[in-house]
């Protein structure tokens, strides 16, 4: 791999350590997770044993305390081996980020240590059947009844639903105030009234469960609110500013995995009496793939720096990194399939899986149309 900028030594060391775990204990499970649609528990166990399952959790809450760049590198390397498994560290960050940004210390002390230890995972419940890109149009309600909140509604497309112990749930507390009437809560899987839909049958990331979550008169203590009432939508959006960087990293990893595999293949495969890598038509494709990947990586790492430092233009950079890297991953994985010809189209090789897995990175945490809306708004409002 080329490095446009020298990474600090500790980040290089993180990459080497994750890659070793993933080559040995995550990549071997990737095809089976895709084939069976089952959560790759063995990969989770391997990531947990090496402390890569939720690396972003700060040291004061029992975590590894990885900065945003190190966390992105972990997710990138896991995705290079298995995109489904990369949603373990990615969604643990997505689910807990609202707490890190806005929760009371009491809530952080209660819910972050089990995630850091690997005893629990955390999911993020924003989307609903009728509220996707327009997330502020959500209908899930939370009403205060004495000293408990009562939640009713349906969340859709929730990654790791059913496997996760904890859920950040966004719900309307003041319907008249639209996005300023939304609040965030921590809900536990074991809270009475929480149930799950059947796993979605998906194009890719099949080893990552995606299910609906139903809230039927779910009563939770008043102190499970994250921040003040009415601040939930702001917390949801600030969370995505940070975690779009992790989706960009996931896209990078999927694309790197596809490029690495294709590079090996084109040097082995012979047609017309020579390796297909000797044909300039193939070389130009490889050059474009490498160029796009490196451009995506630099944008992603720059965005990770902004996430770590909490800079104001993170909203722009997070959207740009996610949009650019996911578009690049889709192009690179599609070209990688092409480089293997008919073999690329079969399950005998991992590239068709990588191409299917890449597609989701253009859709979730805001579609790439939505990222362009976010970027344009930032450009126009200076």
Ligand X SMILES: Cc1cc2nc3c(=O)[nH]c(=O)nc-3n(C[C@H](O)[C@H](O)[C@H](O)COP(=O)(O)OP(=O)(O)OC[C@H]3O[C@@H](n4cnc5c(N)ncnc54)[C@H](O)[C@@H]3O)c2cc1C
Shortest Å, Cβ 370 to ligand X: 6
- Rounded-to-integer distance, Cα 308 and Cα 47, Å: 23
Least distance from ligand X to the Cβ atom of residue 129, Å: 8
Minimal distance, residue 144 CB to ligand X, in Å? 23
The upper half-sphere exposure of residue 168, i.e. CA atoms within 13 Å in the direction of its Cβ, equals 32
Picking from 217, 136, 145, the residue whose alpha carbon sits closest to that of residue 183 is: 136
Question: Would you tell me which residues interact with ligand X (CB under 6 A)?
Answer: 123-127, 132-133, 157-159, 202, 205, 210, 360, 363-367, 369-370, 373
Please tell me the distance from the alpha carbon of residue 97 to that of residue 114, in angstroms, as a whole number: 15
Phi-psi bin for 162: left (phi > 0), alpha (psi -120 to 50), beta? left
How far is residue 123's CA from residue 214's CA, in Å, rounded to a whole number?
A: 14
Pairing of strands 166-172, 122-125: parallel
Least Cβ distance, residue 175 to ligand X (angstroms): 20
Q: How far is the CB of 287 from ligand X (least distance, A)?
A: 31
| Inter-helix orientation angle 27-36/83-102, to 10° | 90
E strands, 32-129, are: 122-125
Cα 122 from Cα 111, distance rounded (Å): 9
- Which residue's structure tokens are 């017309």? 272
Does the active-site annotation cover 294? no
The active-site residue out of 77, 128, 352, 365 is: 365
Query: Is the distance from CB of 188 to CB of 167 less than 8 angstroms?
Result: yes
CA angle 83, 85, 88 (to 5 degrees): 120
Q: Are 6 and 57 in contact (CB under 8 A)?
A: no
Report, in Å, the least distance between residue 317 CB and ligand X.
19
Written as six digits, the tokens of 117 are 């230890």
Cβ distance to ligand X smaller for residue 172 or 205: 205
Q: How far is the CB of 246 from ligand X (least distance, A)?
A: 12
131 secondary structure, DSSP code: B
Q: With respect to ligand X, which residue has the nearer C-beta, 63 or 98?
A: 98
- Of 95 and 344, which has the nearer Cβ to ligand X? 95
Q: In angstroms, rounded to a whole number, what is the distance separating the alpha carbons of residues 199 and 212?
A: 8
Output 159 or 250, the one with its CB closest to ligand X: 159
Q: Which two tokens stand for residue 217?
A: 């008169």
Whole-angstrom CA distances from 198 to 146, 172, 216 are: 34, 25, 17
- Catalytic positions, written as ranges: 365
């Amino acid at each position: 791999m080329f490095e446009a900028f020298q990474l600090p030594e500790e980040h290089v060391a993180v990459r080497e350590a994750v890659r070793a775990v993933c080559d040995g204990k995550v990549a071997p499970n990737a095809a089976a997770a895709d084939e069976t649609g089952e959560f790759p528990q063995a990969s989770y166990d391997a990531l947990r044993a090496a402390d890569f399952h939720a690396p972003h959790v700060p040291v004061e809450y029992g975590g590894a305390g990885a900065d945003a760049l190190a966390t992105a590198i972990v997710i990138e390397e896991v995705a290079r081996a298995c995109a489904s498994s990369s949603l373990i560290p990615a969604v643990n960050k997505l689910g807990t980020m609202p707490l890190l940004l806005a929760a009371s210390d009491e809530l952080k002390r209660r819910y972050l240590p089990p995630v850091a230890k690997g005893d629990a995972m955390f999911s993020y419940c924003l989307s609903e059947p009728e509220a996707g890109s327009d997330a502020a149009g959500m209908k899930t309600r939370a009403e205060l009844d004495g000293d408990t909140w009562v939640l009713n509604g349906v969340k859709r497309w929730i990654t790791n639903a059913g496997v996760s112990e904890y859920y950040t749930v966004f719900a309307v507390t003041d319907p008249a105030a639209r996005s300023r009437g939304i609040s965030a809560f921590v809900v536990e899987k074991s809270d009475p009234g929480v149930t799950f839909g059947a796993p979605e049958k998906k194009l890719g990331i099949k080893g990552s469960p995606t299910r609906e979550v139903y809230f039927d008169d779910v009563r939770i203590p008043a102190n499970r609110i994250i921040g003040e009432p009415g601040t939930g939508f702001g917390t949801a959006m600030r969370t995505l500013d940070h975690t779009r960087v992790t989706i960009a990293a996931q896209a990078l990893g999927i694309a790197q995995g596809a490029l690495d595999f294709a590079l090996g293949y084109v040097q082995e495969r012979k047609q017309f009496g020579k390796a297909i890598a000797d044909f300039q038509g193939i070389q130009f494709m490889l050059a474009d793939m490498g160029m796009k990947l490196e451009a995506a990586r630099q944008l992603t790492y720059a965005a990770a720096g902004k996430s770590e430092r909490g800079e104001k233009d993170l909203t722009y950079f997070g959207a740009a990194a996610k949009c650019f890297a996911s578009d690049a991953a889709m192009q690179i994985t599609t070209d990688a399939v092409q480089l293997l010809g008919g073999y690329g189209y079969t399950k005998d090789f991992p590239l068709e899986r990588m191409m299917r897995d890449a597609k989701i990175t253009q859709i979730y945490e805001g579609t790439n149309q939505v990222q362009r809306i976010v970027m344009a708004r930032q450009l126009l409002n200076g």
